[in-house]
Amino acid sequence: MTINIITLGCSKNSVDSEVIAAHYVKRGHEVVFESDSPSDIVLLNTCSFILDAKEESIEEIIIQIERKRKGDVGKVFVMGCLAQRYKDDLRKSLPEVDGIFSFTELPDMLSDSRFDLLTYPHRKLTQNAHFAYLKLSEGCDRQCAFCAIPGIRGKQFSKPIERLVGEANYLVEQGVKEVMLIAQDSTAYGTDIYNRRELEKLMRELAGVKGLEWIRLHYAYPNDFPLPVLDVMREYDNICKYIDIPIQHVSENVLRAMNRPSSPDRMRRLIETIRKKVPGISIRTTILTGFPTETQQDHEELLGFLEEIRFDKLGAFTYSQEEGTPAYSLGDPISEDEKADRLEEIMDLQENISLEINEKRIGETMKVIVDDVIVDERINSRLYAGRTQFDSPEVDGMVLVYAPYELEIGEFYDVKIKDAEEYDLIGEI
C-alpha cells in the first residue's frame, strides 16, 4: 500500500513519523510525506500543544476526509497528541476517520507486529538528509502550569546512551552531517534511567561519532542547568556554539504562577555564565506572553530584560488555555488583542536586536552548510540558502549565498558576509 504521512507540530513529532515510516517501508509498503498524490492511507501525526495547533490538526483531518470522499484517499488514520488527548471526542465528531490511535496502539493500524517508537532503530528521513533531529527522551517530569505535554506523553523516559550513539551512527550512514538534540527537557536527560543527569556524557560520546560535523542542543531547561555541558561545548569543534534555552518569562510573579521557580537575577547569572564559558555562543530562547497572571508591569519587566540580555535568537507565542493543565483554573482574562499587542512588542524589539547582531557579522568569513537552492527573482539569478553553526533549521535565520558556480546541497563552504537583514545574512563564496 501507499501510506502518506502528514506531520503537524514539533520536531519530536517529525522523529516519530520517520520511525513509523521506516517500520512500514520494511514491511513492503511505500511511504511518502506530505504528498498531494492519491494514496491508500493518509496517516496524520497531530499536535495539540496549544489552541492554534489543535485547530490546524482538525483542519487537516477535515481536508483529508474530503479527499477520501473524492476517492483520492482510501483511509484516513489519526495519531499523535490530538489523538492521545481527545480520542473519544474525535470519534464522535469525525466518524469518517477510519482509525484513531494512541502512541501504543499505532501498529494495529495495519495489523503489524508491535514496535516501540523509542527503541525502533531505523528512520526514513523526511527532510534534507544532511540534517536530522535526535530525540533523547519521551515525556517530561516538569509540571509547568501552561503545558499539557506531561499529561499526553507521560513521565520522562530516556533512551540509553549506547542507543543514541547507535542512532547517530545510523543517521550518518544515511548522509546526515548535523543533528539537533531534542527532548521536552534535554538537560534532565538520564535522570530516570541513570539517576543522574548525563547530557554531558552523551554529548561527549556523540562528539566522537565519525562524520557527525555539527551537534546542536535544543530545549535546555534553565533551572538546575548542568554547567559541565558548557565545558563540552567549548572543548569539541563539532558541537555548535549554540543553545536553545526557553526561559518563557522573567517576572517572579509570572514564573511562580507558571510553576517555573526562578528569578531575573538567576537567569541573568546563568546567561552570563554561558557566555563566559563558551565565548561567541548563540543563545536562543522562547517567550510565552499573555499568561493569566501577567500584568502590564510584568510585560514591561520582560521587555526590559530582553533589551538588557539581547538574546541572539528568540521565538514567542501567546498563552492558550488548555484543559487538564494546572493553569486552566486561572481562566483566560487577557484579551486576544492585548496578547497580540504584547507579542508584537516583543518581536519588534527582537527584530531590532537581531539586526544589530547580524550587522556586526558583515565582513566575517563563516562556515556555512547549504540547505537549498532558490531563485532571486529581483536579479533573475540563482542563490543558495544555508546556515552557520549559530542557526538551527526551521526556526532561525538563513545565510543567502551567491556563488559563481554550482554548490552542493548538504556541503560546507566558506562564505564572506556582505550584508545583513533583520533575521538573515547575505554573503558570497
Beta sheet of 30-33, edge-to-edge order: 30-33, 2-7, 39-46, 73-80, 99-100
pLDDT at 188: 96
pLDDT band at 106; cut points 50, 70, 90: low
Our CA angle for 214, 216, 222, nearest 5°, is: 160
Q: Are 164 and 134 in contact (CB under 8 A)?
A: yes
Over the chain, what is the mean pLDDT?
92
The top-scoring range by mean pLDDT among 5-9, 92-96, 367-371 is 367-371
Cβ-count burial 121-140 (b if 16+ within 10 Å, e if not): eebbbbebebbbbbbbbbbb
Measured between alpha carbons, how far is 232 from 189 in angstroms, rounded to an integer?
15
Report whether pLDDT(117) > 80. Answer: no
pLDDT at 419 over 90: yes
pLDDT score for 113: 60
Q: What does the pLDDT read at residue 105? A: 67
Q: Which residues contact 354 (CB under 8 A, 6 or more apart)?
A: 312, 313, 314, 397, 422, 423
pLDDT digits (tens, 9 = 90+) for 273-282: 999 999 999 9
Q: Are 152 and 85 in contact (CB under 8 A)?
A: yes
pLDDT for residue 175: 94
Q: Indicate if the pLDDT at residue 108 is higher than 60.
A: no
Which residue has better confidence, 375 or 140? Answer: 140
107 pLDDT band, cuts 50/70/90, is low
pTM for the whole structure:
0.91
pLDDT score at 114: 62
Q: Give backbone dihedrals phi and psi of 278, rounded to 5 degrees, phi first.
A: -125, 80
First to last CA, the chain: 45
Mean pLDDT of 220-248: 96
Give pLDDT tens digits for 72-93: 999 999 998 898 888 889 999 9
32 — pLDDT class (breaks 50, 70, 90)? very high
- The pLDDT of residue 23: 87
**Please, what's the largest Cα pairwise distance for the chain?**
60
Residues 361-390 have a mean pLDDT of: 89
Could you tell me which of 220, 211, 213, 216 has the C-alpha nearest to residue 237? Answer: 213
**pLDDT category of residue 137 using cuts at 50, 70 and 90:** very high
Q: Which residue in this structure is represented by grid cell 555541558?
A: 229
In the predicted model, what is the mean pLDDT of residues 102-117? 64
Percent helix / strand / coil, the chain, rounded to 5: 35, 25, 40
Give phi and psi for 318, each to the nearest 5: -95, 155
Q: Where are the alpha helices (DSSP H) in 240-331?
A: 252-258, 264-277, 296-309
Q: For 310-336, how does the pLDDT look when each residue is reduced to its tens digit (9 = 90+)?
A: 999 999 999 999 888 999 999 999 999
* pLDDT for residue 115: 64
> pLDDT digit string (tens) for 144-167?
999 988 888 889 999 999 999 999
Q: Which three cell numbers stand for residue 188?
A: 534532565
The predicted structure's pLDDT at residue 129: 85
Percentage of the chain beyond pLDDT 70 is 95
How many Å apart are CA 254 and CA 293, to the nearest integer?
6
Name 246's Cβ contacts closer than 8 Å, sequence gap at least 6.
Answer: 219, 221, 222, 285, 286
